[in-house]
Amino acid sequence: MIRAGALVDWVQGWGRVLHLAGYAIAAAASRGSYTAATRESAFRQIYFTAWQILARFLLFVLLLETVVIHITVATAREFGLADYALELVLRGLVLELVPLTTVLFVALRSGAAIATEIALMHVSGELEAIERSGEDPLLVEFVPRVAAAMLSVTALTVLSCGLAIVIAYLALYGVSPWGLGEFTHVIGKVFDVPTMLGFALQGVLFGAAVAIVPIAAGLEATSRIKSAPVAVLGGMMRLFFVIGLIEAASLAARYL
């Protein structure tokens, strides 16, 4: 009975995530969803999710990218693969490691916060109060968080990838402009149209997951305050699974 109950809860949890995902993404894509209140809420979420951590995040990725790029370049030269060093950096770091690091950074900071906030709003009855007032909690509370997470993760990924490209050029060519021809040729080879479309889709899916999965987890809380930490923990475990699934699907589509 316990195993059957756990299986039912597992299926219901994932069903709630999929249902909320379809509903929230459709609403987020509709211009009619963005009233003055929802726009203000979305901007506030963008501030807390991306702008407030921007300096610390860029410093973190600067250190990480510098170390990884120098290790990759040195290893490639040691094994006689210097001609492929830039491509290795772009494919391994810019296309894979940086987006994954970015979404994990945001998930640890904002994903848990979103799940906790929604759980406490559910426990306190605030969501029900919004519904009784005639407003839709999805549009008032959920859609701004989904839209903000998607924009924040995408923006942070683009900034950190741009920083990695600059560091890669400096590591290989220094401040000399003579490497621009070869550099741009390799970039054009790596970042073709299908790759860029897949890269953009991956960023959007990462951003949507960071908000949708924690929101669905927060809604699993009951009227008991002790249910909130359990819901948050389950949501974070589910979120890391979804992030890994998106990354695996991205790798399969790109290289298989």
pLDDT tens readout for residues 94-122 = 888 999 999 999 998 888 888 888 888 87
Residues 146-191: tens digit of each pLDDT: 888 889 999 999 999 999 999 999 988 888 888 788 888 888 888 8
User: How far is 208 from 42, CA to CA, in rounded Å?
Assistant: 14
Alpha helices in 29-97 (DSSP H): 36-49, 54-78, 85-89
Note the pTM of the prediction, 2 decimals.
0.86
| 138 and 241 Cβ atoms separated by less than 8 Å | no
Sequence-distant (≥ 6) Cβ neighbours of residue 132 within 8 angstroms:
none
Sign of CA dihedral 9, 15, 18, 24: negative
Query: Domain map of the chain by residue range?
Result: 2-255
Residue length of the chain: 256
- The closest of 70, 62, 43 to 101, measured between CA atoms, is 62
Q: Which of these, 115, 165, 161, lies nearest to 141 by C-alpha position? A: 115
